[in-house]
Amino acid sequence: PEHPDAPGVRFNIAPGAGELFVIPAYTLSGNCDILFFEGIPGGPLDCWDDHPEPAEHLRRVLELTRTYVPWEYERCVDVELTDSHATLAGGYTPVVRRPVGELPSGRAVLGMADVVVANDPITGQGANNAAKCAASYLDSILAHGDKPFDRAWMQGAFDRYWDHAQHVTTWTNALLTPPPEHVQQILGAAGAHDAVARRFVNGFDDPSDYQHWFLDPAKTAAYLAGF
């Protein structure tokens, strides 16, 4: 857990259950904090299929907080909902779809961002992917000139974006399982060496770097040997 007074998003791990993100936000009534649980399927945080009413939703969130991340519960005992629409529960299975669809008219349409590459939000890459997909598609549009924007071009534009997005998907999926020994070694080294910590954090902007040191035990060992 991070220090309770740390600014920005606070990330808390509940071993065997999931994670709790505390996210500063702004709503119609002003500043607020979002208590965002991510639960392991079938685990104790996966308890929302009954879609409880807002008051019960809040009670359940506080009880889960008290049980699994009690250091955060101490900050939450007097919270109240910002309004009657302040709760949300749901989930989806990460998926990569074929990028070109067909409208009822028969015309082709190109999907982008989360429509075609939907990752678990554990690495916070949704907004990053949307922005980078838009930039990649723009480059593909400008490079294409006056030629037809047909299905072949659409597939090619996605393939160009996938050159980046595949690394996001690989890394995100790797974080959905308990951290293996070599990842634990990385996190331990990051606490002692700023260079390791910076490389890990900068991977959130460019996940393609993780293949060179984070995802492979042998490459991890070679990298950490320098420290």
3 — pLDDT class (breaks 50, 70, 90): very low
pLDDT for 152-211, tens place per residue?
Answer: 999 999 999 999 999 999 999 998 888 899 999 999 999 999 999 999 999 999 999 999
DSSP three-state, residue 102: strand
- Would you tell me how many other CB atoms lie within 10 Å of the CB of residue 44? 14
Contacts of 101 (CB under 8 A, 6+ apart): 108, 109, 110, 111
Delimit the domains of the chain by residue range: 10-76, 95-174, 181-224
CATH of domain 95-174: 3.50.50.60
- At residue 2, the pLDDT reads 40
- At residue 40, the pLDDT reads 87
Residues 67, 99 contacting (CB under 8 angstroms): no
pLDDT for 78-126, tens place per residue?
Answer: 999 999 999 999 888 899 999 999 999 999 999 999 999 999 988 889 9
- At residue 11, the pLDDT reads 76
Task: Say if pTM beats, i.e. exceeds, 0.95.
Answer: no
Per-chain mean pLDDT for the chain: 92
To the nearest 10°, the Cα dihedral for 87, 116, 12, 205? -130
220 vs 183: CA distance, rounded Å: 8
- At residue 138, the pLDDT reads 98
Residue 26 DSSP symbol: E
